[in-house]
Every structure is written in C-alpha cells, then in structure tokens.
Amino acid sequence: MTVTGDTARRAALGAFVGTAIEWYDFYLFGTAAALVLPTVFFPQAGPAVGLLASFATFWAGFLSRPLGGIVFGHIGDRLGRKNTLVVTLMIMGISTVLTGLLPGADRWGVAAPILLVVLRAAQGFAVGGEWGGAVLMAAESAGRGRGIRSAMWVQQGSPVGNILATTAFIVVGLIDKDAFLSWGWRIPFLASAVLVVVGLLIRLKVEESPEFEAAATDRQIVKVPIAELLRHHWAKLVMGVLACALGIGGAYFTSTFMLSYTTGQLGVDRQVMLLILLGPVIAQFGWQPIAARLAERIGTARFMVLNLGAAIVLAFPAFFVVSVGNPVGILLVLIAVMIPTAGYYAVLAGFLAEAFPVRIRYTGISVAYQLSATLIGGTTPLVGQLALTLGGGSWVALAVFYVVLIGLTVVGVLGVAARRTTVDQSADCSAALAEVPPARRS
C-alpha cells in the first residue's frame, strides 16, 4: 500500500484538530463541574453533597462512552473512518453549545440537572466514537514505520483541548463572581460552535484510511464487529481496558478532582490553580513527540512500563507537596508527575491499535478505551473525593489511590504486549509496521 506524505499529513492534522476540539468540549464540563455546576444546578445541596452530585453528573458522560464506541466502531469498521468522525464532531459541538444555553435550577427546577445529564451523556456518546476513529485515521494513513508517531498526534489533542478549556475559564474568571455564576461560565461552551465549524472544514478534506479501503477491497469487512471482538479477542479487550486506566483516570484526577481539592480544602485561589494546571499540560504537549521517538527506539511496551514505574516512585512525595498548599510546589510536582505519565500516554494510541486486526480495529480500540473511561476515568474524581473524605482529609489516601491506578495500568500494558497482533498483515496498524526490525519493536 502506497501512502503519500500529503495524505499522511492531512490525516494527522484532521485527527489532531478534531480531537483537540472534542477534548476542549469534554474538559470544559470537567472544569465547570469543579467550579460552577454545583452552585448553578444543585443549589439546594450542601457544598460537599453538591460537589458529589456534580461529579456524578460528570460521570454520566463516561457511562455513554462505551455505547458510542460500539455504535461508531460498528459504523467505522463497516463503512469507513472519515464520515464517522464528521458525525461525532457535530454531536459533540451541538451538545456543548446547548449546555452553555441551559438555564439553571433556579429557573427550570429539577429539569435543569436532568437535561444537564442528558447533554453530558451526548458528549460521552460522541467521544466514544471520536478517539478510536481519529487514532486509526492517523495511524493507518502513516508512512513506513510511523504508525506510533502518527497516532501520537491524536494524543496531542488531549493537552491542547485541556489548555484551551482551562484558558477559557481563566479568561471568564476575570469577571466578578456573580456575573461568572450567572452567565460568564457559559461563554466557553458557546464558543465551541466556532471551533466545531473549523474542525469540520478540516476533516471534510481528509481522505479515507488506506488500510480500511484495502480491507474493503479484499472483502474483509465483518458483519458484526463487536461480536467477533467478544468472541475471539476478549482477553485483549480486558487488558486494553486496564492499559488505558492512568491515561484516562489520571487526566481527570488532575483537571477535575485536583482543582476541587486544592481550591476547596487547601484554599488555593481559583485563578491561581487554573494557571497552575496549565503548566503540566503544556509540558505534556512538548514532551509527547519526544516520547514517541524514544519509544520507537527502545520498544513501546518497555518504554511505557518504565514511565509507569517512575510515576509510582513520584506519587507519595508529590501528594505530600501538594497537601502543603504552596502554589509553586504544586506546579513543580504536577509537572514532574506529568513527564512519565505523558510519556506513557503518548504511545498508548498506537500501542492499542496494533493489538487488533484491521477488520475490527475501530471497535476494538474504541470499546477498550471507552470502557476504561466509564469504569475508571469517569469515577476518578468521585472516588478521589470519597477517598479524601474516608481518609479524614489525608493526602496519603489520595496517594494510595493513585498508585493503585498506576498498578492496574501496568498489568494492562503487559497483558496487551503479550497479546498484540504482530504477524497478520491485515492486522497491522500501518502496513509497514510489520517491516520494522525486531530490535525496534516491543
């Protein structure tokens, strides 16, 4: 299969821009859940109960993600990647804008939080199909030996979306508190409409995945991809769910729970903490391309395990420093923890894509990633808050929880590495990946 440089670049750009916009929308809700949603949609609850209710609403987006993975994975494996990604971007944009227009509980009563949950679920449904399709558009359109590196650009969408969402709330946070709670918080959600239009214009110019077209020509299209996945690749699916644990859970632990913890219990100023949270995601964006190159040299699975081990070593010292409440200390340790975490996350997409044959690949990586999001990622802020409460407010409980999260991820990475497809040409993430010398593969 011949892949031109222009095709690969357009695919990577379309995957990156579209994913960044979708993550912007998704992270907006997480930031709002920590800062404003308890007051606007759960005003009758106490501070602690309102925060738990807000985090539970936040989780609703994760409950619908596996369904999105199954539905859009089925469509993507049968009809193609490109058009599927256009639909997911539109659903996400519409849901986000409507969230920004939704009246609070003071005007619509109980209907307001109910509709908030519905819109959050629609966001999750869209993200459920977005990530896997974007990974495959980038990786399957890559040139010789560049599948891991190209898929990394999809992972770049996460820090960029996070940066955009955090920056948007920093800007609107400059207005007075009453205006912020009344209408200011809605502006970042409404701004999504402009970003979605830009993303659609870029994605419509992207060509279909060459590997999918080759599979369709060879009549390798599966009638029910999810059935084949569960029948023949269930062990890979289970390990894939665990392998994604830190990549998903860690992001929301930092951007959502940590924001609530530091501005609430530790008393850090809201604007200061939002600025602090920009530090690690900027570091993530700069480090991930370097990490992908290093992983190609020393082996993907080996590189991931080394980074996860470093994250475990840093966990307890990092949470102790955060508990002191000094903004400079918080910034430094969050950046320090982000380096190994981002190193692992940079290559997670390409690593997972190699695990499944092309005929069920969209469904395979989408369901694995989104089940992990539901079971682990979406519950992370909630479990973190419960751990903090049950642990009497001690940072030790948070550190233990974080180490357990990393441990599950290590088990998953090792399990996927032992089961990845490495011989079947039809299952390669990029046709040329099978030609990479053994010394450079994990």
Domain residue ranges of the chain, discontinuous segments joined by +: 5-440
Residue 144 pLDDT greater than 50, yes or no = yes
- The mean pLDDT of 107-135, rounded to a whole number, is 89
Do the Cβ atoms of 340 and 310 come closer than 8 Å?
yes
Other Cβ atoms less than 10 A from the Cβ of 437: the count is 7
Among 34-43, 231-240, 427-436, where is mean pLDDT lowest?
427-436
CATH of domain 5-440: 1.20.1250.20
What is the structure's pLDDT at 91? Answer: 93
* Amino acid occupying residue 264: G
Task: Give the tens place of pLDDT for each residue, 391-422.
Answer: 888 899 989 999 999 999 999 999 999 876 44
Single out the residue of 156, 423, 417, 96 nearest to residue 286, CA to CA.
156
Neighbouring residues of 182: CB distance < 8 A, sequence distance ≥ 6:
none
Do the Cβ atoms of 338 and 280 come closer than 8 Å?
yes
- Ramachandran assignment for 62, one of left (phi > 0), alpha (psi -120 to 50 degrees), beta (any other): alpha
- The mean pLDDT of 298-325, rounded to a whole number, is 94
Other Cβ atoms less than 10 A from the Cβ of 419: the count is 17
| CA dihedral sign of residues 20, 97, 123, 430 | negative
Residue 186 pLDDT greater than 80, yes or no = yes
Cα separation, 386 vs 404, in Å, equals 15
Q: E-assigned strands of 31-79?
A: none
Any idea what DSSP says for residue 257? I
Residue 145 pLDDT greater than 70, yes or no = no
Global confidence as pTM: 0.79
Other Cβ atoms less than 10 A from the Cβ of 197: the count is 12
Phi and psi dihedrals of 81, rounded to 5? -85, -40
Residue for token pair 């940079």 = 346
Cα separation, 89 vs 423, in Å, equals 34
Among 28-37, 169-178, 327-336, where is mean pLDDT lowest?
28-37
**Start-to-end CA span in the chain (Å):** 24
Other Cβ atoms less than 10 A from the Cβ of 415: the count is 19
Q: Is 244 helix (H, G, I), strand (E, B) or coil?
A: coil
Residue for token pair 């039809």 = 426
Per-residue confidence at 277, pLDDT binned at 50, 70, 90?
A: confident
Q: Is 4 helix (H, G, I), strand (E, B) or coil?
A: coil
394 membership: H or E segment, kind and range = none
